[in-house]
């Protein structure tokens, strides 16, 4: 053979071995799908709120029972800023979700922890916002998002997924090409 007389190829450095993506468990698929469903629901709500912004803001004003024109003007401005803040937040979330899903698929533990936080805080926030005067269709969408996040937490905490992101496994604590401390 042609390899006679040649030394064997050197083994790759340990850092390269750690940086390889671990195999994905099939139980991770529902986590990614639910993240994308949540993002889709959020984007849909954002588009609908932009399209119906004047009626949503009028609904909020009418349910505050404010009759003073100056107070209504200030409140309308506040609701408008809040609405556009939501739009900007959803654009940022979309970008973050893209990186988060990619990191999850690469088996990064930090991404797993972010999904847990996202699920828990998201449910809390979506339930807390039920106290805000929103039209029924907005409340229904937000409750459906909370249910999606509850399912996300359920699948994220499944034993197969948890063990996939266990602390100390090779490649799990890699951040931006470096191993975290």
Mean pLDDT of 108-122: 93
Does 42 or 23 have the greater pLDDT score?
A: 42
8 — pLDDT class (breaks 50, 70, 90): low
161 — pLDDT class (breaks 50, 70, 90): very high
Mean pLDDT of 33-44: 93
Q: Is-contact 104 152, C-beta < 8 A? A: no
Residues 6+ apart with CB under 8 A from 107: 21, 22, 24, 164, 165, 169, 171, 172
Does 62 or 23 have the greater pLDDT score?
A: 62
pLDDT for 14: 53
Cα separation, 28 vs 49, in Å, equals 32
pLDDT for 150: 97
Q: Which pLDDT tens digit goes with each residue over 56-114?
A: 999 988 888 888 899 999 999 998 998 888 889 888 888 888 899 999 998 899 999 99
Model's pTM, two decimal places?
0.76
pLDDT for 181: 47
Q: Is the model's pLDDT at 31 over the cut of 60?
A: yes
pLDDT for 171: 62
17 — pLDDT class (breaks 50, 70, 90): very low
Cα separation, 110 vs 170, in Å, equals 13
Percent residues over pLDDT 90 in the chain: 48
Does 124 or 95 have the greater pLDDT score?
A: 124
Q: Is the model's pLDDT at 11 over the cut of 90?
A: no
């Amino acid at each position: 053979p042609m390899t006679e007389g040649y030394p064997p190829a050197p083994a790759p450095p340990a850092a390269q071995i750690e940086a390889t993506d671990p195999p994905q468990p099939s139980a991770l698929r529902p986590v990614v799908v639910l993240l994308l469903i949540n993002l889709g629901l959020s984007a849909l709500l954002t588009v609908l709120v932009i399209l119906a912004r004047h009626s949503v803001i009028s609904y909020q004003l009418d349910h505050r029972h404010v009759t003073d024109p100056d107070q209504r003007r200030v409140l309308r401005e506040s609701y408008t800023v809040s609405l556009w803040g939501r739009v900007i937040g959803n654009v940022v979330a979309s970008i973050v979700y893209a990186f988060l899903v990619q990191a999850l698929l690469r088996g990064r533990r930090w991404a797993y922890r972010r999904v847990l936080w996202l699920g828990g805080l998201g449910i809390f926030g979506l339930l807390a916002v039920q106290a805000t005067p929103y039209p029924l269709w907005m409340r229904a969408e937000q409750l459906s998002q909370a249910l999606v996040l509850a399912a996300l937490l359920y699948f994220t905490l499944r034993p197969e997924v948890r063990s996939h992101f266990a602390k100390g496994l090779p490649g799990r604590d890699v951040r931006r090409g470096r191993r975290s401390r």
